[in-house]
Structure 1
Amino acid sequence: MKEFDVVVIGAGPGGYVPAIRAAQLGKKVAIVERKKIGGTCLNVGCIPSKALLRHSEMVEEIQKANSWGIKTGELSIDFPKLMKRKDQVVQTLTGGVQHLLKRNNITFFQGEALISDALVVSIGDGKIKGKDILLATGSTPFIPPIKGLDKINYHTTDSFFDLKELPKSMTIIGGGVISIELAFAMAPLGTKVTIIEVAPDILLTEDLDARKIIKKQLQKKNIQTIIKAKIQEVQKGKVILADQEISFDTLLVATGRKPNIEVTKELNLKMDASNKFVAVNDDYETSKKHVYAVGDLVGGYQLAHAASAEGLIAVHAMNGDHPQPLDQTKIPRCVYTHPEIASFGLNEEQAKNAGYDVKITTSNLAGNAKAIAMGETEGFIKIISDHQYEEILGAVIVGANATELIGEILAMKHSEGTMNELASMVHAHPAISEAIGENANALLKQAIHM
């Protein structure tokens, strides 16, 4: 039986990133994956959805160009070719991960992992042993108990990216981030999209002002959004609500995900207060010594980069490095709609509850020179700060390239800079990032263009 210093279960971002770091630290590392290298993110999540979103953005850019005077003629969609490009993007990235594992001399095992109490990992007929085990098994789509759902064909996010033909009409049950992103991806291509959400609103994890802008954009794209829906039954080709019926030729159920905890059962790991996630300490070690868990297994943000960051802390803890705990307020959260939403840290209510003397400054993009030139004036930059010490507590950006722009404010917070330092930065002109400087200067009552 082969022995390793570290055995990682799961080859998604929460697994392969810490596996590589462990190898860099001189560890003998093995990684076990039952499906595909890259996990949900690279294969059926972050990456394919962003490829489709890019396709739809190009359609909208062409339409905008036509309205500006750049005539392109009739627009047609070759959906199979778009999906082929999506596959190429995925293959490029998963191939890159395979290369990185080989370059770092990480032994890869394909198959279902079963872990014994003695930290022996069984993969089919073979067995390996690890001094430390890292569980990064991710999650699977949660399917709500809707009457009739088990009798019809429907997609989850695990199967949606295998579509061969462009749907004429698509109904999405669920109004979370992935649902809204896929609505933005499909509607510009010509699909009639309807979103059904049982909660009081869509995107409940996001800033209220950001939600208002996204709902306005959904209306512009003729995407029907039904909130507070009472789903009575699903039948072939239609969802029956209490007050209406919604027809479709493709149904997507995107109502969240649940952690893959099957591999943990033999270890009898302690669960958290909700009894849904594995309980861990600041180093991501579970109730069993030398067994660590990260990502969707432990709750928190179900984000690829969060899982990677957690995994890095875990392997450094295995190495005896005493890493600093992960600061949840420094994890960026991104929604790749059009315009994009990006945020981090505390919102106003959370900051007040934490005892801060809260100050909110907001700069709109409507007056930003670069945004006007780009035709991307929908959006704003909002910064939550502590009035007494000018500490940056959180931020929300809605606008073009928001997911890139958020890094500037987050970098300032990470380096312990304040709103005063942010205000004193010289920004290029014209640039959307100028609105960040304007925002910080507004706190000091020195904004020029606000």
Structure 2
Amino acid sequence: MSCLEIMPKLGLTMTEGMLAKWHKREGDKIEKGEILFEVETDKLTNEVEAKDNGIVRRILVEEGETVKCLAPVAIIAAENEDISNLLKEAGADEEGTSAEKSEEPEVQNAAEKAGIKDVVVIGGGPGGYIAAIRAAQLGNKVTLVENAELGGTCLNVGCIPTKTLLHSADVYCEIKDSRNLGIDVGEVSINWNNIQKRKKRITKRLVAGVKGLLAYNKVNIIKGFAKMETEKSILVTKEDGGTEKVAFDNAIISTGSLPFVPFIPGIGLEGVIDSTGALNLKSLPETIVIIGAGVIGVEFASLFSQLGKKVTILERLPFILAPIDREISNLIGDKLSKQGAVVNTGCKVTKIEKAGNGLKVDFDKGNESFSVEAEKVLVTIGRKANTEGLGLDKIGVRMEKDNVCVDDHMKTNISNIYAAGDCTGKNMLAHVASEQGVVAAENISGKDVKMDYKTVPFCVYTKPEIASVGLTEEQAVENGIEYETGIFLMGANGKAMISKEADGIIKIISDKKTEEILGVHIMAPGATDLITEGALALRLEATVDEIITTVHAHPTIGEAFKEAALAAQNRSLNSVN
């Protein structure tokens, strides 16, 4: 029995979908219920099952093509069955090509379409792809140029894969400690290969989701390296060596950043890795030295120490996690030490050299010299803007070192060229890049919006998590602000005790006279989710009293936020004032 396989309607608002992958090819046998193909919509990838048994006689839609819901995509029939009628029904010729694809809107000249612009976005990370989508939503014709994978550093070799590995480490620790939860289990071991496979699956699915979103918004994607030719055009060099010139009315530079490589003798030795190398290790090292204790370094220290590996941290500053409130950075330093990590601050790395089957790192601390040996050395000193080779100097874009200079509208000194994300050097966080991308796209489209950094949260995915927004206590002192602090210890919070993560605190910093909340700093389970309440408080210029008079559910981590606000008025109800 022959049948037409169609693009399914997977939701009330779905009108079309991109056929992401065929699981079967023409001539393959298939049984009813087997996965036939994958379809992408928004940020989801859905597997579609065959409706009948048979052979895939014709594939009518190629991978990557977008078609309307209920449009035919394949024909399944018996081996010698006549499928000519089905080909006609599908609107295909005898070769089986051409299904009903989504109609392209009528093309009009730019002059006939007031306000519609040709926009080029260079870079497909969280700044670039979001900028492209927003520009397209506003009616512009958008081309996105990306030299590597869509999603950028964050999605492919940064935020998402790192947090995936950290989650596996968290679960491993919980299972190991399950006896204290009243659960007896057998021996627990780490399957690093399977952890890596899960990381790749999640990354692949999210990258596919980005592709689907761009396709849905009719963004043209060109894979290649872009270089400025003029203020109105770029030249894209593709993988095969061919080039394509792309003209534009406006451009958004969003090329991200690269790991900063400091000058340390021996830094090029085998076994010295950056964060990308750490994410793709074939096996877990038993010993590792981490140079740099910013967010990346501390997260990797948390990961490897939770997995039972010997970690040594070397940090130049007298404290770890420089942007974080000092009280909390000290707490997480103590926590890492309890997990077995050795934390060295105020030290300078002088040399890396081979030592047996591993590496030796020499460093100075005060007037003394020390050394430590390990299988791997992870360098996480920081990141720098990825702008080399773009030709920005050729067209006169103002730069500071490698950073693209922009104003609060994300506009460069060239009136039709904007920039967003790490390449601006403003604040190297994925959510900042996305917001900057939106600001750039909206200003290109005639709106007047400015980037506001007041409510930008800062998150660290240790265990427990850390999150921060607004002024730290150190910054308040430095700026001469009269302030009050309200601190609540998570050891007095029922949900934190249940979760066995009672080591942290919530600290609220408020103006002494007005009680307006100036900063929120959290070390607690789910801190990276809870910080949104702090960011909203800053956005709305909320006072301590407005937090207090908001009813918080019990038992939750969130109620500790209210307790910290109460503590600012010296009237905490669940701790001693």
TM category, shorter: over 0.9
Pick which of 369-378 and 351-360 moved more: 351-360
Higher helix share: 1
8 Å contact from structure 1 (residues 176, 204) kept in 2: yes
Map 1:309-348 → 2, pairs under 5 A: 309-323=435-449, 325-348=450-473
Determine the structure 2 residue equivalent to 1:265. 393
Map 1:375-390 → 2, pairs under 5 A: 375-390=500-515
- The question of 1:240 aligning with 2:362 is answered yes
Determine the structure 1 residue equivalent to 2:487. 362
For normalisation by structure 1, the TM-score amounts to 0.95
Distance in 2, matches of 1:422 and 1:98, equals: 41
Determine the structure 1 residue equivalent to 2:195. 82
Q: Which amino acid counterpart does residue 87 of structure 1 have in structure 2?
A: K
Deviations 1:115-147 (A, max 9, x none): 122321111211111111000001111111111
Quick check: which has more Rg, 1 or 2? 2
Q: Which amino acid counterpart does residue 137 of structure 1 have in structure 2?
A: T
3-state SS of 2:412 partner: coil
- The question of 1:104 aligning with 2:217 is answered yes
Residue 44 (structure 1) aligned to one of 153, 157, 160: 157
8 Å contact from structure 2 (residues 489, 505) kept in 1: yes
Determine the structure 2 residue equivalent to 1:133. 251
- The question of 1:414 aligning with 2:542 is answered no
Q: Unpaired segments of 5 or more residues in structure 2?
A: 1-108, 111-116, 238-242
8 Å contact from structure 1 (residues 52, 185) kept in 2: yes
Determine the structure 2 residue equivalent to 1:93. 206
Q: Which amino acid counterpart does residue 519 of structure 2 have in structure 1?
A: G
Deviations 1:45-82 (A, max 9, x none): 00010001001101111122123331111111111111
Distance in 2, matches of 1:153 and 1:319, equals: 48
8 Å contact from structure 2 (residues 121, 143) kept in 1: yes
3-state SS of 2:230 partner: coil
- The question of 1:404 aligning with 2:529 is answered yes
- The question of 1:149 aligning with 2:262 is answered no
3-state SS of 1:407 partner: helix
Residue 283 (structure 1) aligned to one of 406, 409, 416: 409
Determine the structure 1 residue equivalent to 2:433. 307
3-state SS of 1:258 partner: strand
Q: Which amino acid counterpart does residue 484 of structure 2 have in structure 1?
A: K
8 Å contact from structure 2 (residues 326, 474) kept in 1: no
- The question of 1:253 aligning with 2:366 is answered no
Determine the structure 2 residue equivalent to 1:67. 180
Q: How far apart are 1:355 and its partner, in Å?
A: 5.6
Determine the structure 2 residue equivalent to 1:373. 498
Deviations 1:86-140 (A, max 9, x none): 1111111111001100000000010110112232111121111111100000111
For normalisation by structure 2, the TM-score amounts to 0.75
Q: Which amino acid counterpart does residue 305 of structure 1 have in structure 2?
A: H
Determine the structure 2 residue equivalent to 1:206. 324
Q: How far apart are 1:35 and its partner, in Å?
A: 1.0
Pick which of 433-442 and 31-40 moved more: 433-442
Q: Residues 193 and 443 of structure 1: is their aligned pair in 2 closer, same or farther, counting only changes over 3 Å?
A: closer
Q: How far apart are 1:354 and its partner, in Å?
A: 4.6
Name which structure has the greater RCO, CA cutoff 8 Å, separation 6+: 1
Alignment identity in percent?
Answer: 39
Q: How far apart are 1:426 and its partner, in Å?
A: 0.8
**Count of residue pairs the alignment pairs up:** 446
Distance in 2, matches of 1:172 and 1:268, equals: 39
Distance in 1, matches of 2:473 and 2:227, equals: 45
Map 1:415-430 → 2, pairs under 5 A: 415-430=540-555
Higher strand share: 2
Q: Residues 99 and 288 of structure 1: is their aligned pair in 2 closer, same or farther, counting only changes over 3 Å?
A: same
Distance in 1, matches of 2:481 and 2:318, equals: 29
Q: How far apart are 1:430 and its partner, in Å?
A: 0.9
Q: Unpaired segments of 5 or more residues in structure 1?
A: none
8 Å contact from structure 1 (residues 328, 345) kept in 2: no
Q: How far apart are 1:216 and its partner, in Å?
A: 1.0
Deviations 1:250-282 (A, max 9, x none): 22111101101221232232124xx44222111
8 Å contact from structure 2 (residues 259, 383) kept in 1: yes
Distance in 1, matches of 2:550 and 2:384, equals: 43
8 Å contact from structure 2 (residues 294, 320) kept in 1: yes
Q: How far apart are 1:353 and its partner, in Å?
A: 5.0
Determine the structure 2 residue equivalent to 1:158. 276
Q: Residues 419 and 173 of structure 1: is their aligned pair in 2 closer, same or farther, counting only changes over 3 Å?
A: same
